[in-house]
Amino acid sequence: MRERTKALAFVAVWLTSLLVLVAAMGRPADLHAPAAGIRVDLTVRGDGWTIEYRPEGTLNGTVFSILREANETLGFDLRWVEYGWPYDDVYVTSINGSRNDGSRGLWWQYCVNGEYASQGAQHQEVRDGDAVLWTYAPPGGVELCG
């Protein structure tokens, strides 16, 4: 086989492999913007403090976008790291001055309606009447959601 034919065959196999892998792992970013305003109960439980936010008719439909709305409305400090494709999500590193702290084992985690997070906050949809809790605690599970 000529070298050029080999190169073309390799590029074809290479591109096909990449496409198959993208199909296997990819999910498009979905910001879940609700069509009509929804009511959400947001509680942020930090290191000796609590923030509560109860928007009526918000158009923000993810756990992170509700937190961002509270941050902009109430003015507390919020820091996060954005992850691009293929994650398209965020990692919250600090809320109201309480920073993820590996030496004390305290990290920001969230629950929705008493269920521990199962995906990134940017992808977790919230619906009308949902209760969202952000808690600063050692890594855990549903026991953090009470």
By the criterion CB under 8 A, which residues form the site for another protein? 3, 6-7, 10, 13-14, 17-18, 21-22, 24-25, 81-87, 93, 99-103, 105, 138-140
Nearest CB to another protein, comparing residues 48 and 103 = 103
Q: Contact, 125 vs 131, CB < 8 A?
A: no
Task: Name the DSSP letter for residue 142.
Answer: G
Burial 39-76 (b: 16+ CB within 10 A, else e): ebbbbbbbeeeebebebeebebbbbbbbbbbbbeeeeb
Nearest CB to another protein, comparing residues 88 and 125 = 88
What's the min distance (Å) between Cβ of 114 and another protein?
20
What's the min distance (Å) between Cβ of 46 and another protein?
17
